[in-house]
């Protein structure tokens, strides 16, 4: 504190209030992620059950999915998880320019993943004639689960964009940045869900 400055009696109270509400918000956000895990798990177990009831998978008339392209698109998404991690670490160390660059990279990679998913959907529908309603359990399961994940990625891209704008506007400080922590947790959650979906649809 500069010499001669008068301490604000409310500053310590505000910091204490932030610390307490931060824990409550963190608990609330983790509960939200748990509810999302339950949602995805119910659809995944339904898919695995339907898959095990059929003698062949994919069903006759449907080719196996393009593992190579999906693997490339997965690397794009997982790379965004790395850049998001370094964005948060850069913010913690007060390196705003580095933080902004990593966060922008995360947003761009997330958008690129969505573009890749859109390309895959178009290719499946136009060339392979695989659709949500016309390809039985396979089409319904694939488009429902990957589409639900894609929606989460889209929401994440929008959320990270808002975080970037808020950061530029001075909403967060080096000590108070819960929004950035929540954004990082959400993005890592999206990555983990895709590991499961990539495994059950493309590798198994």
What does the pLDDT read at residue 29?
96
pTM for the predicted model, two decimal places? 0.89
Question: pLDDT tens for residues 113-126?
Answer: 999 999 999 999 99
Vertex 117: Cα angle to 57 and 185 (nearest 5): 100
CB 37 within 8 A of CB 190: no
- Sign of the dihedral defined by the CA atoms of residues 89, 93, 96, 97, in that order: negative
Question: How far is it, in rounded angstroms, from Cα 161 to Cα 164?
Answer: 5
The pLDDT confidence band at residue 4, using thresholds 50, 70 and 90, is: very low
Per the prediction, the chain carries an average pLDDT of 91
Domains annotated for the chain, with CATH where assigned, are: 77-204 (1.20.120.80)
Q: Compute the half-sphere exposure of residue 135: CA atoms within 13 Å on the CB side of its CA.
A: 21
Question: How far is it, in rounded angstroms, from Cα 198 to Cα 76?
Answer: 13
Question: Coil, strand or helix: which one is 193?
Answer: helix
Asked whether the predicted pLDDT for residue 5 surpasses 60, the reply is no
Question: pLDDT tens for residues 158-191?
Answer: 999 999 999 999 999 988 899 999 999 999 999 9
What does the pLDDT read at residue 9?
45
CB 165 within 8 A of CB 173: no
Question: How far is it, in rounded angstroms, from Cα 30 to Cα 139?
Answer: 31
CB 125 within 8 A of CB 139: no
- Between residues 193 and 11, which one has the greater pLDDT? 193
Count CB atoms within 10 A of the CB of residue 162: 13
Question: How far is it, in rounded angstroms, from Cα 64 to Cα 115?
Answer: 21
Asked whether the predicted pLDDT for residue 6 surpasses 50, the reply is no
Question: pLDDT tens for residues 51-110?
Answer: 998 888 888 888 999 999 999 999 999 999 999 999 999 999 999 999 999 999 999 999
Q: Which helix (H) or strand (E) is 148 found in, with range? A: helix 136-168
What does the pLDDT read at residue 161?
98
Task: State both tokens at 179.
Answer: 């929004």
What does the pLDDT read at residue 16?
76
């Amino acid at each position: 504190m500069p010499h001669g400055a008068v301490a604000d009696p409310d500053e310590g109270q505000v910091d204490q209030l932030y610390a307490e509400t931060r824990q409550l918000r963190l608990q609330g956000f983790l509960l939200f992620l748990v509810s999302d895990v339950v949602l995805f798990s119910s659809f995944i177990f339904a898919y695995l059950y339907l898959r095990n009831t059929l003698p062949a998978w994919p069903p006759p008339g449907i080719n196996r999915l393009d593992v190579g392209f999906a693997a490339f698109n997965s690397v794009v998404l997982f790379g965004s998880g790395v850049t998001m991690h370094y964005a948060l670490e850069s913010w913690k160390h007060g390196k705003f320019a580095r933080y902004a660059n990593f966060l922008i990279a995360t947003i761009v990679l997330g958008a690129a993943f969505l573009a890749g998913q859109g390309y895959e959907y178009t290719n499946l529908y136009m060339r392979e004639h695989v659709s949500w309603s016309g390809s039985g359990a396979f089409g319904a399961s694939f488009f429902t689960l990957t589409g639900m994940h894609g929606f989460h990625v889209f929401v994440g891209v929008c959320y990270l964009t808002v975080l970037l704008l808020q950061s530029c506007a001075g909403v967060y400080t080096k000590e108070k940045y819960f929004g950035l922590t929540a954004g990082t947790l959400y993005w890592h959650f999206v990555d983990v869900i895709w590991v499961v979906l990539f495994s059950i649809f493309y590798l198994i």
